[in-house]
Amino acid sequence: MKPLDPQPEPDWEPFHLPFDIGSGRSMFVETEAGPTIRMRFYRRRGDGALVGHVWFGAATFGPPGFVHGGVVSYVIDEAMGTAGWLAGYPVVAANLNIDYLEMTPLGQNCRIEATVDEIQRSKLILGATLSLDGRVLVRGSGVFPRMRRERMEALALRMGKEVPDLDGFDFVP
């Protein structure tokens, strides 16, 4: 299984979030046995949605030939949380709902998309899909509470990181 070399589609653009507490990162995980997960996220220019590619290596197996559901749910969580941040709302996951419509095969270049479905005063409702060749394999939704600025700054300091520039983000009042 050769890992993908994820390339953006024509209307996708790279983005940068202030730091990687939890998300906002593209990821290439390598083990002694070889590549495990490769994912790269982009912003779609037209609507600002998070889009990207994900490839799962043999070490992520669940049922023979397919990805473990927990690994898939991790990727869905990452995509939804990043979509919230990408839209300007610092969030963390509180509730995830994952519908496995089909098993996700190993070694395939899957497409991921995540959107902000609803903005409430103190939380966002987010959605995501993982698809292959136009077929939705997994659909996720989640409740992501909006963070307070003070909490975000405290997390950065606890991690021993400099507090990044958080101007432009819409923190919960």
Q: What is the pLDDT of residues 4-46, one digit of tens each?
A: 666 788 999 998 887 665 445 566 566 666 668 888 899 999 9
Strand partners, 53: 40, 111
**Two tokens at 90?**
């610092």
Percent residues over pLDDT 90 in the chain: 65
19 contacts 164 by C-beta, under 8 angstroms? yes
Q: Which residue has the tokens 């983000």?
A: 169
Kindly report the number of other CB atoms within 10 A of residue 170's CB atom: 12
Closest by Cα among 164, 166, 165, 160 to 147: 166
**Two tokens at 83?**
């979509």
Please state, in angstroms and rounded to a whole number, the distance separating the CA atoms of residues 54 and 107: 10
pLDDT in tens, the chain (173 residues): 555 666 788 999 998 887 665 445 566 566 666 668 888 899 999 999 999 999 999 888 899 999 999 999 999 999 999 999 999 999 999 999 999 999 999 999 999 999 999 999 999 999 999 999 999 999 999 999 999 999 988 888 888 888 888 888 999 88
Q: What angle do CA 85, 133, 130 make, to 5 degrees?
A: 30
Closest by Cα among 50, 16, 37, 22 to 127: 50
Strand partners, 124: 119, 144
Domains of the chain: 12-158 (3.10.129.10)
pLDDT of residue 163: 83
- 8-state DSSP, 2: P
